[in-house]
Amino acid sequence: MPPETDELRRAVDHLVDLVNAPSVTGDEAPAVDAAERIARDDLDLSVLRMEAEPGRDNLLIGDPNPRIILCTHLDTVPPHIDATLSDTHVYGRGACDAKGVAIAMLYATARLFRGDKGDGLACLLVVGEESTHCGAMAAAASDLSPQHIILGEPCGLDPAIAQKGLLKLRLSARGSSGHSAYPELGVSAVHRLLDAIERLKRVDLPNDPTLGPTTMNVGRIEGGVAANVIAPSAEAILLFRCAAPVDAILAEIRSRIGSLVTLEELNRAEPYAFNALGLSPGPAVPFNTDAHTLLDLGASMSLMGPGDMRCAHSPREELSFEDLADGIDAYERVVGNLLAGE
């Protein structure tokens, strides 16, 4: 069904504009410019640019000294995909993760300011979430001092109860090379690496009633030189989504792989329990957000947002007009209650 109200028609048009503005992580400027235009020129909101890195700005939209922040990200994973429309949905890169969320936040913010209820509220649209979290890091190091942050990622409009932690590791194996016709004369690093991974696949990693299972992804693997050479080196990048404290999982991994490979920790984030805003919470989310980066601001944090993350990072990414409308309503309601309750 086409959008029913003028406001939703404009919101859909703005989402199409924002999706069409390229924003692959590291080159977010066109989308930052587009979001600034939408907020300032079309929604009549004040906009402050806050540099995250040279040429890469976060946007703070609304009250420059906010007590409540609606926060999501403008960057997207590659490749850029232009927007297309059906009678019911917007498609394209970022339609749900997280430009649809950003438009819902901006429209809710505009409604509250139009009704003179926006004092103390700002939208923080950051860069760099899909990679180094540099936008959130810059915000965390800024003078902002919010009491509450509502993070937006597509996970439905019931606030998520928690998010899993994360542990990214590099496993490196060393061997000694030689002619593959005489395997007894060398040690294959590829075989060692595969043995280590096979051991890890059989580990019973922690399962939590709220967070669900700890999962492992062998995301990248490389090594060796040729089919007839015993491989002198090999490495793999693994990502664990953690349902228990990261150190406990790391200790289990170390004990299983023994001395087969060396292990380097590349990144970690502990599981985080969100504030459910007094509402009945939705399930824990298995993906990572800017939450752990924003901890330094000392605010309580919630996570909710329109759309379904399962279509994100794929060529099928989409957001329905209905979800966009519900997202605007939900953010307006929740933030309105928070501001009124203070």
Question: Where does this chain bind Zn ion (CB under 5 A)?
Answer: 97-98, 153
**Least distance from Zn ion to the Cβ atom of residue 75, Å:** 9
Nearer to Zn ion, 73 or 111 (CB): 73
How much helix, strand and coil, in percent to the nearest 5, is found in the chain? 30, 30, 40
Helix locations, 57-148, DSSP H:
99-114, 134-140
Residue whose CB is less far from Zn ion, 224 or 307? 307
Residue nearer to Zn ion on the CB measure, 232 or 307: 307
Q: Which residues pair with 259 in a beta bridge?
A: none
Distance CA 134, CA 53 (A): 7
Min dist CB 282 to Zn ion, Å, is 16
Give the residue with the Cβ less far from Zn ion, 17 or 97.
97
Query: At closest approach, how far in Å is the CB of 154 from Zn ion?
Result: 7
Number of H helices, E strands in the chain: 8, 19
Q: In the complex, what is the shortest distance from the CB of residue 63 to Zn ion, in angstroms, rounded to a whole number?
A: 24
- C-alpha dist (Å) from residue 107 to 5, 74, 232, 301: 13, 16, 57, 21
Contact between residue 111 and residue 328 where contact means Cβ atoms under 8 Å apart: yes
Q: How crowded is residue 67: how many other Cβ atoms within 10 Å of its Cβ?
A: 17
| DSSP 8-state secondary structure symbol assigned to residue 187 | B
Kindly state the smallest distance separating residue 276's Cβ from Zn ion, in Å. Answer: 20
**Min CB(163)–Zn ion separation in Å:** 12
Residue 148, CB half-sphere, CA atoms under 13 Å: how many? 18
User: 16 vs 155, which CB is nearer to Zn ion?
Assistant: 155
Report the nearest approach of Zn ion to the CB of residue 159 (Å): 16
Give the closest residue to 21 by CA, choosing from 39, 35, 8.
Answer: 35
Question: DSSP labels for 265-306?
Answer: EEEEE--EEPP-TTSPPBPPBSS--SHHHHGGG--EEEE-EE
CA atoms within 13 A on the CB side of 222: 1
Question: Of 118 and 152, which CB lies nearer to Zn ion in the complex structure?
Answer: 152
C-beta closer to Zn ion: residue 97 or 332: 97
- Considering the complex, what minimum distance in angstroms separates the CB of residue 129 from Zn ion? 6
- Residue 250 or 311: the one with the smaller Cβ distance to Zn ion is 311
Counting every residue written for the chain, the total comes to 342
